[in-house]
């Protein structure tokens, strides 16, 4: 769980670089180091998010006992899946979608809809990751 929180924070920082740079101009060096890994990190987080989303849906019976816990897991899963897809889209397109023109076109349309949400999702990932870390350590 701690690793997921840290990865969420790192992915959020990579997804919202302009906001991070406006607050901390000296963070450019760190952001430049993340760029080569951004695609693979996005793909891995997308897969983890989809897996967690499936787990959340299958564990819907928990809603009656722990609704906050279930809802938090669902939100984290959605943010991971969507932000991971956005950040890893170039690799996903290259290895999965480009084999079929129809699939590639659908992927590009989906990406066009999701791209405007990248910075907001990045901020959400940072906030969720930090809150989750605080909750873990309390």
Q: What is the DSSP string of 65-109?
A: T-HHHHHHHHHHHHHHHHHHHHHTHHHHHHHTGGGSHHHHHHHHH
Q: How far apart are CA 57 and CA 52, in angstroms?
A: 9
Give me the domain span that covers residue 125: 2-137
Q: What is the pTM of this model?
A: 0.83
Output the CA–CA distances (angstroms, integers) from residue 53 to 61, 95, 115, 133, in the order listed.
14, 23, 21, 20
| pLDDT at residue 49 is higher than 80 | yes
Average pLDDT over residues 6-31: 77
pLDDT for 70 = 85
| pLDDT at residue 116 is higher than 80 | yes
Q: Judge whether 87 and 39 are in contact, CB under 8 Å.
A: yes
What percentage of residues in the chain have a pLDDT greater than 70?
A: 96
CA atoms within a 13 Å half-sphere pointing along the CA-CB vector of 86: 22
Q: How far apart are CA 70 and CA 117, in angstroms?
A: 24
Per residue in 56-67, pLDDT (tens digit) is 899 888 888 888
Query: How many structural domains compose the chain?
Result: 1
């Amino acid at each position: 769980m701690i690793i997921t929180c840290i990865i969420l924070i790192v992915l959020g920082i990579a997804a919202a670089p302009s906001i991070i740079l406006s607050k901390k101009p000296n963070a450019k060096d760190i952001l430049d180091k993340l760029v080569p890994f951004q695609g693979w990190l996005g793909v891995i987080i997308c897969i983890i998010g989809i897996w967690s989303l499936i787990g959340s849906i299958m564990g819907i019976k928990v809603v009656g006992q722990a609704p906050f816990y279930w809802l938090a897991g669902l939100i984290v899963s959605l943010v991971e899946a969507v932000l991971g897809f956005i950040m890893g889209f170039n690799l996903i397109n290259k290895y999965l979608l480009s084999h079929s023109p129809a699939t590639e076109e659908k992927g590009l349309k989906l990406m066009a809809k999701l791209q405007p949400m990248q910075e907001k999702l990045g901020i959400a990932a940072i906030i969720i990751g930090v809150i989750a870390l605080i909750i873990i350590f309390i």
